[in-house]
Amino acid sequence: MAEDKTASNSKSVMEEAEQAGVQGHVRDHIDLVVKHEQEFLAQRTPTEKMGDRMASLIGSLKYVFAHLILFAVWTLWNSLPLPGLPHFDPFPFQFLATLFGFEAILVAAFILMRQSRISRRSEERDHLMMQILLLTEREITAVLGVDRQIAERIGLHKIASDEEISQLSEHTSIDELAQGIKESMPIE
């Protein structure tokens, strides 16, 4: 069911993009992001799919309302003198408390399972983003180096020798940058 929603959501995103006149290359990026999300959802184990469905149900107003109704019926059944309906869990409703306690354990497990999967996906996105940023940094450095050479050849010596452009066209050591940030960060 979640896959159906995702597929229909991705179709609607693509349709909206086409209607809004999104350019082809932007649409290609949207399609690529949707494809990656669909692949991630398709790779979930049956347990993860069940956990996602349960977490979605638990996080809905239907679930809350069902519990409110159940609690009200249980309380009324076991509190009011209703003919033909014996009190099976008199006040202080220990059986109800036990059931809700057991349910709380299961709810926590389903939510933790989903959060773990979402965290794993977030880490994958972070790694992808880091790779893209590293590649972008390398490409921009190369372009700036070529631009400086072009500026020098066409006689724009002031631009070619500009200190900031010169620094930006040099290779950036990501390890040194990370170490510098680490050393500069305040200790908690």
Q: Are residues 172 and 140 in the same domain?
A: yes
* Domain span including residue 54: 44-184
pTM above the 0.75 mark? no
Q: Are residues 67 and 154 in the same domain?
A: yes
**Confidence (pLDDT) at 72:** 93
pLDDT tens across 115-170, in order? 988 898 899 889 988 888 888 988 998 898 888 888 888 888 888 888 888 888 88
Q: Residue 168 corresponds to which amino acid?
A: L
Q: Are residues 119 and 28 in the same domain?
A: no
How many domains is the chain built from? 2
pLDDT tens across 32-67, in order? 888 888 888 888 889 888 888 888 899 899 999 999
**Dist CA 147 CA 159 (whole Å):** 9
Burial string for 102-126 (b: 16+ CB within 10 Å, else e) reads eeeeebeebeebbeebeeeeeeeee
Phi, psi of 27 (to 5 degrees): -60, -40
Q: Are residues 28 and 93 in the same domain?
A: no
